[in-house]
Amino acid sequence: MAAGGAGVGNKTYSFKVVLLGEGCVGKTSLVLRYCENKFNDKHITTLQASFLTKKLNIGGKRVNLAIWDTAGQERFHALGPIYYRDSNGAILVYDITDEDSFQKVKNWVKELRKMLGNEICLCIIIGNKIDLEKERHVSVQDAEGYAESVGAKHYHTSAKLNKGIEELFLDLCKRMIETAQADERAKGNGSSQSGTGRRGVQIVDDEPPNAAAAGGGCCSSG
């Protein structure tokens, strides 16, 4: 069923993607641009911008994408695991003009690894607001180098100018489909892969489940 967004044949894939990142980096703007093609628009018709969905057709495969906005304020940071459990993908956003927000992304990567271990979802790192290139405080080299070192894809976007957004979601969806198909094949083989089905968080407190397992990188970049 919809669990894990796995699908058979012509079935529709359902994916859950969470947006993580400091406040004001542009998470809400990115998703409103993607789903409504609006930016800072007073005439937005949707009642809310915290849970948005988009239907896609990728090479004949139907995808229902659910995008979960998260509260970015520091005092809500500890709630992260409740949001990202059972997600198929995570989009980690920073603002290229804000060094601190990039540091926050690094913290998120560490936390996801620690909390999810082997079961880590696909994650993508986004440097937003490239229309403010002259105020850039995070160098392209640093950002892309870091992403590569943890096995994550990196994208540059501008919600304001609608740059890079379609591409990043399309790429994420393609990779989530691949992961789902791989899960399914493993399931079909009857191999005792007890882990694959139960993605999500297995622990309550701060102790990492199997921190050593994080060696493979943040994302199983497939």
Partner 1 sequence: MSQKSERRGIHVDQSELLCKKGCGYYGNPAWQGFCSKCWREEYQRARQKQIQEDWALAERNKLFHCNSSCSVSVSRVRLQREEEAAYASSQGAQSQPSLAPFSKFEEKKSNEKTRKVTTVKKFFSPSSRTASKKESQETKTPSPSISRQASMETDRVSRDFIDFLKGLQKPGREIHKQCRAFVESMGNKKDLSAEELSECVQDFYQNMADRLLSHFKGSTERVERVMDQVEKYLMTRLYKNVFCPETTDDEKKDLAVQKRIRALHWVTIQMLCVPVNEDIPEVSDNVVKAITDVIEMDSKRVPRDKLACITRCSKHIFNAIKITKSEPASADDFLPTLIYIVLKANPPRLQSNIQYITRFCNPSRLMTGEDGYYFTNLCCAVAFIEKLDAQSLNLSPEDFERYMSGQASPRRQEPEAWPPPAGGSPALAQVYQSLELLSGLGARQERVLEGARRLEGDLIDWRAGVEREVQDILDRHPLDLRLPPASAIDSDNVENDRLPPPLQPQVFAG
Ligand X SMILES: Nc1nc2c(ncn2[C@@H]2O[C@H](COP(=O)(O)OP(=O)(O)O)[C@@H](O)[C@H]2O)c(=O)[nH]1
**Site of interaction with ligand X (CB under 6 A):** 21, 23-29, 40, 72, 128-129, 131-132, 158-160
Write the CB contacts of 80 (distance below 8 Å, at least 6 apart in sequence).
20, 70, 108, 111
Measured from the CB atom, is 153 or 199 closer to partner 1? 199
* DSSP at 221: -
Angle between helices 140-149 and 99-116 (to 10 degrees): 0
Smallest gap, in angstroms, from Cβ of residue 177 to ligand X? 27
Judged by CB, which is closer to ligand X: 88, or 158? 158
Site for partner 1 in 193-222 (CB under 8 A): 194, 196-205
- The C-alpha atoms of residue 63 and residue 59 are separated, in whole angstroms, by 10
User: Where would I find the H helices in 66-164?
Assistant: 80-84, 99-116, 140-149
Shortest separation between residue 4's beta carbon and ligand X, angstroms: 27
Question: For residues 14-43, which are near Mg ion according to CB under 5 A?
Answer: 27-28
Q: How far is CA 76 from the centre of its chain?
A: 18
Shorter beta-carbon distance to partner 1: residue 31 or 150: 31
Min dist. Cβ of residue 197 to partner 1 (A)? 4
CB atoms under 10 Å from CB of 190, counted, come to 7
> Measured over all CA atoms, what is the biggest interatomic distance in the chain, rounded to whole angstroms?
55
**Residue ranges in 16-35 that form contacts with partner 1 under rule CB under 8 A:** 16, 23, 27-28, 32
Q: Is residue 91 a contact partner of residue 19, using CB atoms and an 8 Å limit?
A: yes
Residue 92 contacts which entry, ligand X, partner 1, Mg ion, none (Cβ below 5-8 A, type-dependent): none
What is d(CA 116, CA 81) in angstroms, rounded to the nearest whole number? 9
Selected binder of partner 1 within 39, 54, 56, 85 (CB under 8 A)? 85
Residue 9 in contact with partner 1, rule: CB under 8 A: yes
Instruction: List binders of partner 1 among 143-202 (CB under 8 A).
Output: 183, 187, 190, 192, 194, 196-202
- Can you give the binding site for Mg ion, defined by CB under 5 A? 27-28
